[in-house]
Amino acid sequence: MKAARLALAAGLLATLPACGLRPVYAGGASGALAQGLGSVEVAPIQGREGFLVRNALNDRLGHGGAAASNPQYRLDVLLDDQLEGLGLLTDDTIGRERRTLRARYQLVDLASGEIVLDATAGSDAGIDVVSSEFATIAAEQTALENLAHQVADRIVSRLTLTLSQR
């Protein structure tokens, strides 16, 4: 019985290469994908939300907060940050807000000028409006910081997929 399980496991392992799956981050930091992500230069993005998203992108691309040393690609990002009131209380004040951060981005091959990827990413967060104005402002800022990280994660995931197929 144990030998049969072992034979079955060995047979299944032998069929893995045929399924077409391959590790995305094969080779670690010296792998092709890590090198590709490291060669993406993030263009400056306007506004406070742009500063947050650009820093998060540079962190995730392995630049450690600095620009790419030998860029092959440029990532252009346009952001749309919206804050809207949702819930009205009985005294006609807003009780809940929704913050939405959307990004339209393009990955440009610097050698040819070709747009390799043109896509969008976004996320939103709900915010409770409380009696303390300071607390509400702090919650809005925290929401923006979290959204910047989420949008950066989505952009890098899409870049990873695109660069792994090239």
DSSP reduced 3-state for 45: coil
Answer for the pair 50, 79: CB distance below 8 angstroms, yes or no: yes
pLDDT at residue number 13: 65
CATH number at residue 156: 3.30.160.150
List the chain residues with pLDDT less than 70.
Answer: 1, 11-34, 64-69, 166
140 and 99 Cβ atoms separated by less than 8 Å: yes
Q: Which amino acid is at 88?
A: L
Structure tokens at 18: 């045929």
Alpha-carbon Rg for the chain in angstroms: 22
**How many domains would you assign to the chain?**
1
